[in-house]
Structure 1
Amino acid sequence: MAPGRRVERVAALIRKETSELLMHGIRDDRVHQGLISITQVDVSGDLQHCKIFVSVLADPEGRAQVMEGLQAASSFLRGELGRRLQMRRAPEVVFHLDRGLEKGASVLGLLGDLERERQERGEIPPGSDDAQNCHDDEPS
């Protein structure tokens, strides 16, 4: 098996097992203060280090507490991953907050604000699809 393929497979297994542990294995109340989604798992080529990117749906204070709880549980998680995946040496686990969904929602909000402003100025009629208006003049 190619080394890259093995790393991908281990990353997928870590993601699956970590999801299970987040739901049922970690008892720290801080971890359960928000909705946690694992967005990405990066494993180093030597399988010694693992970055787990999570998105947390909570207020900023709750998000910070969830991240503290995850960092506190990382050694427990490492041991459990080693046992569940039957690895001689489980990778060191580090959690990172993924703000991609948050940024995406922010961009969508800004685009919505821009559309409302353009409608108020009369640049586009209310309820029209600006993209369709651009293509209406083109021959089919």
Structure 2
Amino acid sequence: MAKIRAGRVGEQIKKELSQLIQSELKDPRIGFVTVTGVDVTNDLSQAKVYLSVLGDNEQKNNTLKALEKANGFLRSELGKRVRLRHTPELIFKFDESIAYGSHIEKLLGEIGKNEDN
């Protein structure tokens, strides 16, 4: 039962954080950011927010620093929008699954070309 609620809360946090980052944050260091997923612990004390950032490593690091600096603002706004007794602590991480998937796709394409030859 707790896992179902954590999943629903995670989806709501994902939706609200996406809107907050796109519309409310005015930091120029934040580039094009997509919230790809949110994992919430069963006791709703922590939420790992997985991000996909368009750009090079410097742009990714600048975006992560800006989001860490805006963590308090994001958490307070999230508390206003999502009605929970305690707002989870936000932990931002990069989602490497998209890059990993494209790498695997490229390798499979090379294998297919080698088999044709």
**TM-score, structure 1 normalization:** 0.76
Matched, 1:108 2:105: yes
Length, aligned pairs only: 117
What SS is found at the alignment partner of 2:34?
strand
Q: 1:98 aligns with which of 91, 95, 100?
A: 95
Q: Give runs of aligned pairs for residues 31-110 of structure 1, distance below 5 A.
A: 31=30, 33=31, 35-110=32-107
Letter in 2 for 1:59: D
Match of 2:116 in 1: 124
| Structure 2 gap segments, 5+ residues each | none
Distance 1:64 1:114 in 2: 34
Letter in 2 for 1:8: G
Distance 1:76 1:42 in 2: 20
Distance 1:111 1:8 in 2: 33
Q: Give runs of aligned pairs for residues 12-31 of structure 1, distance below 5 A.
A: 12-31=11-30
Moved over 4 A (4+): none
Question: Aligned-pair distance for 1:101?
Answer: 0.4
Cα deviations by residue, 1:6-55 (Å, 9 ceiling, x for unpaired): 21111111011001001101111111x2x322221111111111100111
Letter in 2 for 1:9: R
Distance 1:5 1:104 in 2: 28
Computing the radius of gyration from Cα coordinates, the structure with the larger value is 1
Distance 1:57 1:106 in 2: 16
Distance 1:124 1:13 in 2: 47
- Percent identity reads 35
Distance 1:43 1:108 in 2: 30
**TM-score, structure 2 normalization:** 0.89
